[in-house]
Amino acid sequence: MADRSAESVKQIAALVNFIVSQMEVTGTTMVETAREVELSTSLVYSAGESFGEIENQSRATATAISDISGAVQELSSQSELLVLSLESIVEIANNNVDGSQSMSAASQEQLATMQEVDASAGFLANLSDKLHSLIEKFKI
């Protein structure tokens, strides 16, 4: 019986040693797991901050796009006004061209009339000279 008791004590001691070693492994594993959880928590927190920054940048981008859209609409309105102004300038220029053409035609008519008057004046001067010569013949 003493042999059996000694054998049982050895088995119990081996079992206790095994349990102790398993507890040490479990303790080490728990410490490592706690570190990994802490690291994971830190990573999750960092990811949350990154998502927050992404959200802020997205809002800033949306605001910038809205501002650009407003500026493009204003530019479009100004372009329409510019087109209207240019159309008015073209119409005025066309009217000026028409007026200049009319003035040019009137000037040409006036020049032709002046040339006719000059020719008539030359003819009348010649006729006057002839008349004057004839009068001289009749003078005593």
13-40: pLDDT as tens digits: 888 888 888 999 988 999 999 999 999 9
The Cα–Cα gap between 129 and 110 comes to: 28
Answer whether residue 134 is part of any domain: no
> What one-character DSSP code corresponds to residue 135?
H
Answer whether residue 20 is part of any domain: yes
Give alpha helix (H) positions in the chain.
2-138
Length of the chain: 140
Answer whether residue 131 is part of any domain: no
Question: Long-range contacts: 58-62, Cβ < 8 Å, 24+?
Answer: none
97-121: pLDDT as tens digits: 888 888 888 889 999 999 999 899 9
pTM over 0.75? The answer is no
**Domain assignment of residue 44, given as a range:** 1-113
The Cα–Cα gap between 6 and 44 comes to: 55
Output the pLDDT for position 65.
Answer: 94
> How many distinct structural domains can be found in the chain?
1
Whether the predicted pLDDT of 59 surpasses 70: yes
Output Rg (C-alpha) for the chain, integer angstroms. 59
Q: How far is CA 113 from CA 66, 108, 116, in A?
A: 70, 9, 5
